[in-house]
Amino acid sequence: MTTHVKRAYRYRFYPAEAQAAELSRTFGCVRKVYNMALAARTEAWTLRQERVNYNATSAMLTVWKKSEELAFLNDVSSVPLQQALRHLQAAFTAFFAKRSKYPRFKSRKKSRKSAEYTSSAFRFREGELTLAKMAQPLDIVWSRPLPEGALPSTVTVSQDAAGRWFVSLLVEDPAVQPLPAGGSAVGIDAGLDHLLTLSTGEKITNPRHERRDRARLARAQRDLARKARGDGANRAKARRKVAKVYARIADRRRDHLHKLTTRLVRENQTLVIEDLTVRNMLSNGKLSRAISDAAWSQFRSMLEYKAAWYGREVIAVDRWYPSSKLCSVCGTLQKRMPLGVRIWTCACGATHDRDVNAAKNLLAAGLAVSACGAGVRPQWESSRTGQSVTKQESPRREP
């Protein structure tokens, strides 16, 4: 029996005034219920060493809705509120499994505005989506078709900081099937001068999306800084202008990474990358802006889930593996390799491009991992103590 991959299709929509008001109320109620449940679970554990699960918080929600001060929770669909409790349960599960930090309270200004509806809380017929508590379907821009005959299992409605409305439909996609197995493998070295360098010698230019809009962003931020602090309409309008610039940058970056990762996964059976700790690297004040713009974490996330879709393998090599200092021909480890050295010659006579050589070494190390199942760990004499968390292939200053 063939199992289809569940895939989210995201579309922009334009709600009517009444729909926008209903959704805004729902977002507020979802945030309120999530925060109250988190506070209750935290208090129960702190004071009584008692773990509260989803069933207990669901019972609490029933009591809250009957109280006079929280009666407004009855004005919105109950399904998004129950889903918020399920999301909180998932957050605690990840925390106790040491996969994430302790759940945090949702902020009215900073947290993502979203609400999730299950099949009992929406109607999807003839290409029209109608949510619970609404009389009219959403005005959705169907920028691409859903898989033929697909019915959404869940629908997530959200509004970003720029004020744009989106709806995400989770459906089974029969088109996503494992690709025919191939023997091709590629090493991928991430950088800032070039976004990616492949072991084949191909170099993929870094588009530097943030730098292209830096002047526009700076102008919008100056306008925001001039507005008086508070909840005034002018400051809110200026804040949306800043958010629109950020959204434009993020959209272009996401589109580029989607195209790039799809191509790499389709063309290669095995993909070897470096296990970078981007969060630590962002502590470098001179490079943090360029590292954020390169979006290495987002690239890796896309590469991994698409590889899982299409039956490919992604191997991450230990970040301390000296891929730049090893000669990919004879295996000699160079004692020093300053960041300014981009072309170097080994004692064996081989001349290397620093990034291409690193990608070739990553590929060799990754194939060794795949063959023996062991992790790649440094075996050289020098200690890690005092080593910078900055990627050794990064230039000294932001380009």
- By the 8 A CB rule, do 210 and 293 touch? yes
Report the C-alpha gap between 250 and 256 in whole angstroms: 10
Give the model's pLDDT for residue 385: 38
Say yes or no to pLDDT of 388 above 50: no
**CA distances (Å), 123 to each of 115, 334, 395, in order?**
16, 64, 53
The token duo for 89 is 């349960």
CATH class of the domain comprising 185-206+251-372: alpha beta
Mean pLDDT across 139-145 = 95
Report the C-alpha gap between 32 and 26 in whole angstroms: 10
Say yes or no to pLDDT of 1 above 60: no
Percent over 70 (pLDDT), the chain: 92
What is the dihedral sign for C-alpha 167, 93, 119, 306?
positive
Domain boundaries, the chain: 5-173, 185-206+251-372
Report the C-alpha gap between 370 and 364 in whole angstroms: 10
123-137, 329-343, 366-380, range with greatest mean pLDDT: 123-137
Give the model's pLDDT for residue 186: 95
Give the model's pLDDT for residue 372: 63
Condensed to tens digits (0 to 9), the pLDDT of residues 177-225 reads 899 988 899 999 998 889 999 999 999 999 999 999 999 999 999 999 9
Say yes or no to pLDDT of 327 above 80: yes
Q: What pTM value is reported for the model?
A: 0.84
Residues marked active site are found at 189, 274, 355
Please state, rounded to an integer, the average pLDDT across all residues of the chain.
89
Give the model's pLDDT for residue 383: 36
Give the model's pLDDT for residue 391: 52
- By the 8 A CB rule, do 102 and 95 touch? yes
Report the C-alpha gap between 44 and 212 in whole angstroms: 50
Say yes or no to pLDDT of 314 above 50: yes
Task: Name the pLDDT band for 345 (thresholds 50, 70, 90).
Answer: confident
Mean pLDDT across 370-399 = 44
- By the 8 A CB rule, do 63 and 73 touch? no
Say yes or no to pLDDT of 4 above 80: no
187 CB-contact burial (10 Å; exposed 0-12 / middle 13-18 / buried 19+): buried
Task: Name the pLDDT band for 373 (thresholds 50, 70, 90).
Answer: low
Neighbouring residues of 244: CB distance < 8 A, sequence distance ≥ 6? 162, 220
Say yes or no to pLDDT of 393 above 50: no
96 CB-contact burial (10 Å; exposed 0-12 / middle 13-18 / buried 19+): exposed
Say yes or no to pLDDT of 296 above 80: yes
3-state secondary structure of 171: strand
Q: Given the structure tokens 């993909």, which residue do they identify?
A: 271
Condensed to tens digits (0 to 9), the pLDDT of residues 88-101 reads 999 999 999 999 99
List strand residue ranges (DSSP E) for the chain, in order: 5-13, 113-118, 122-125, 128-131, 140-141, 154-159, 165-173, 185-190, 194-198, 203-205, 270-275, 313-318, 343-345, 351-353
Mean pLDDT across 37-57 = 93
Mean pLDDT across 244-270 = 95
Report the C-alpha gap between 348 and 272 in whole angstroms: 26
Output the CA angle 16-18-21, nearest 5 degrees.
Answer: 110
Say yes or no to pLDDT of 399 above 80: no
Lowest mean pLDDT among 264-278, 328-342, 361-375: 361-375
Percent over 90 (pLDDT), the chain: 68
First to last CA, the chain: 52
Say yes or no to pLDDT of 389 above 60: no
Say yes or no to pLDDT of 271 above 90: yes
Give the model's pLDDT for residue 112: 92
Give the model's pLDDT for residue 37: 97
Say yes or no to pLDDT of 146 above 90: yes
Output the CA angle 249-252-258, nearest 5 degrees.
Answer: 135
Neighbouring residues of 314: CB distance < 8 A, sequence distance ≥ 6? 271, 272, 273, 303, 304, 307
Task: Name the pLDDT band for 3 (thresholds 50, 70, 90).
Answer: low
Condensed to tens digits (0 to 9), the pLDDT of residues 108-119 reads 888 999 999 999
Say yes or no to pLDDT of 279 above 60: yes
**Residue 148 main-chain phi, psi, to 5 deg:** -60, 125
